[in-house]
């Protein structure tokens, strides 16, 4: 049932995001050019904010359904939404995740046309069109909002559902399948072909951390740190050279 709730939450988030974007476009007087705005490399702040809030509404809805219908009505007990001081270990995990992703792409960077531009495109799309207060809002949503809602969904609902599904498989195989599959789904959900490998690997790392701790606190700290580094890179971009980080 939790897998069903996850699917409903993900699809529902797409629908709610579309509704929020349409309403925001109507308020902004941009309804007639909405299709063109959706294809911009740097959409306006209202478009990004509406999309994120819609998606996250679906993610939170899945978590709420899971704990309300097939749980104890407690996000802390059912999904591990708890924090401890040791969760600050998530800071080096997030930084290390960015370094690992960078190293993974070093062998292929020089073989992909316009690699840096293509690799940084998602971050540029998210942040690049915002300035001043708009940039601050997007940055806060990316660093604080995304880790909360995405971890609640992918590691709180999805990972735990998969762990129960594969729990009957002996030894470490069942947990490993749950961790790997949830990590891959995390990467696929971002719908970025070039970044898929890095996102999936980091998703697997986050799933492993959540499975070992039984909580979401360390994941959220690691995810927030990972996104903080990415947001900073958009503002002060670095470049990959052979053997160097970007």
Give the pLDDT confidence score for residue 241 in this predicted structure: 35
pLDDT level of residue 108 (50, 70, 90 thresholds)? confident
Distance CA 104, CA 120 (A): 15
**pLDDT exceeds 70 at position 235:** no
Q: Considering the chain, what is the average pLDDT of its residues? A: 88
Is residue 47 a contact partner of residue 39, using CB atoms and an 8 Å limit?
no
Give the pLDDT confidence score for residue 222 in this predicted structure: 97
Q: Give mean pLDDT, residues 155-171.
A: 89
**pLDDT exceeds 80 at position 130:** no
Distance CA 243, CA 29 (A): 49
Q: What are the Cα distances from residue 223, in Å, to 5, 82, 128, 148, 174?
A: 23, 15, 21, 9, 24
Q: Give mean pLDDT, residues 105-128.
A: 80
The percent of residues above 70 in pLDDT, for the chain, comes to: 94
Give the pLDDT confidence score for residue 238 in this predicted structure: 46
Instruction: Compute and round to an integer the Cα radius of gyration of the chain.
Output: 18
Distance CA 177, CA 206 (A): 14
Give the pLDDT confidence score for residue 239 in this predicted structure: 40
Give the pLDDT confidence score for residue 113 in this predicted structure: 79
Distance CA 213, CA 188 (A): 24
Q: What are the Cα distances from residue 185, in Å, to 189, 200, 207?
A: 6, 7, 11
Helix or strand run (H / E) with residue 156: none
Is residue 204 a contact partner of residue 212, using CB atoms and an 8 Å limit?
no
**pLDDT exceeds 60 at position 125:** yes
**What is the crossing angle of helices 90-109 and 115-127, to 10°?**
140
Predicted structure pTM score: 0.91
**pLDDT exceeds 50 at position 245:** no
pLDDT level of residue 237 (50, 70, 90 thresholds)? low
pLDDT level of residue 136 (50, 70, 90 thresholds)? confident
């Amino acid at each position: 049932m939790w897998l069903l709730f996850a699917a409903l939450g993900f699809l529902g988030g797409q629908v709610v995001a579309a509704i929020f974007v349409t309403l925001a476009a109507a308020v902004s007087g941009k309804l007639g050019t909405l299709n063109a705005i959706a294809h911009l490399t740097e959409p306006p702040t209202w478009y990004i904010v509406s999309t994120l809030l819609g998606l996250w509404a679906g993610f939170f809805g899945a978590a709420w359904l899971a704990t309300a219908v097939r749980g104890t009505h407690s996000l802390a007990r059912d999904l591990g939404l708890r924090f401890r001081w040791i969760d600050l270990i998530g800071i080096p995990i997030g930084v290390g995740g960015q370094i690992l992703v960078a190293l993974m792409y070093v062998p292929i960077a020089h073989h992909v046309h316009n690699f840096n531009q293509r690799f940084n495109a998602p971050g540029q799309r998210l942040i690049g069109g915002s300035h001043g207060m708009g940039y601050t809002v997007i940055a806060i949503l990316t660093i604080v909002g995304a880790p909360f809602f995405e971890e609640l969904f992918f590691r709180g609902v999805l990972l735990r559902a998969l762990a129960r599904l594969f729990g009957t498989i002996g030894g470490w195989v069942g947990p490993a399948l749950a961790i790997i599959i949830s990590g891959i789904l995390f990467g696929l959900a971002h719908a970025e072909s070039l970044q898929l490998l890095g996102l999936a690997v980091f998703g697997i790392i986050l799933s492993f951390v959540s499975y070992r701790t039984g909580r979401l606190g360390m994941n959220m700290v690691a995810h927030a740190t990972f996104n903080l580094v990415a947001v900073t890179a958009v503002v002060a971009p670095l470049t990959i050279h052979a053997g160097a980080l970007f």
